[in-house]
């Protein structure tokens, strides 16, 4: 006798198949949630990195640099933790969540340490970080609605000094 000819066997086979398909669907959804988290983290990190350069006074002062990268990692790491905690239902794997949270904390602390100690920042990286930094000071002085005469005079000096130093760093950079 054919096993599927028996109604009870057919019903069990249907439930098993449906359950397996359902279970497979949950696993696929879970994997997609973690893939989506990874994609969102990378895309958000790229956006955050470039948004930090809004503070430069001109595109000529745009230089990719390690300090901005470390700052980006310090912003992205807590975002991963917040997303996992806020949307627990989308991220059901305790092991994966724990690994991501611990990894995010490590990335945050490591980036913090690298920024504060400047361990990986040599001559070239220093120069590439300082040009946008100086450019931000110029932008603030040019655009701030200052009323105090002493502050206005100070900003005039800041602009002159920062431009001179940017030009000097741009001249030094090719030999580094």
> Is residue 132 helix, strand or coil?
helix
**Lowest mean pLDDT segment, chosen from 5-19, 44-58, 107-121, 142-156:** 5-19
Nearest residue to 73 (alpha-carbon basis) of 37, 44, 99, 100? 44
Per-residue pLDDT tens digits for 140-161: 999 999 999 999 999 999 999 9
Task: Band the pLDDT of 29: cuts 50, 70, 90.
Answer: low
Q: Where are the domains of the chain?
A: 3-175
Judge if pTM exceeds 0.85: no
Find out whether 66 and 120 touch, Cβ atoms under 8 Å.
yes
Distance CA 42, CA 23 (A): 29
Mean pLDDT (whole number) for 47-55: 97
């Amino acid at each position: 006798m054919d096993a599927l000819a028996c109604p009870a066997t057919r019903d069990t086979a249907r439930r098993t198949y449906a359950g397996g398909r359902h279970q497979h669907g949950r696993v696929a959804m879970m994997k997609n949630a973690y893939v989506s988290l990874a994609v969102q983290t990378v895309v958000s990190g790229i956006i955050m990195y470039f948004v930090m350069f809004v503070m430069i006074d001109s595109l000529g002062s745009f230089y990719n640099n390690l300090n901005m990268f470390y700052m980006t990692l310090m912003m992205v790491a807590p975002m991963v933790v917040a997303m996992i905690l806020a949307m627990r239902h989308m991220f059901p794997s305790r092991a994966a969540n724990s690994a991501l949270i611990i990894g995010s904390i490590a990335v945050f602390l490591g980036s913090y340490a690298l920024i504060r100690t400047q361990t990986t920042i040599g001559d070239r990286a220093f120069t590439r970080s300082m040009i946008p930094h100086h450019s931000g000071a110029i932008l603030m002085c040019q655009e701030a609605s200052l009323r105090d005469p002493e502050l206005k005079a100070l900003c005039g000096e800041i602009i002159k000094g920062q431009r001179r130093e940017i030009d000097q760093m741009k001249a030094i950079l090719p030999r580094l």
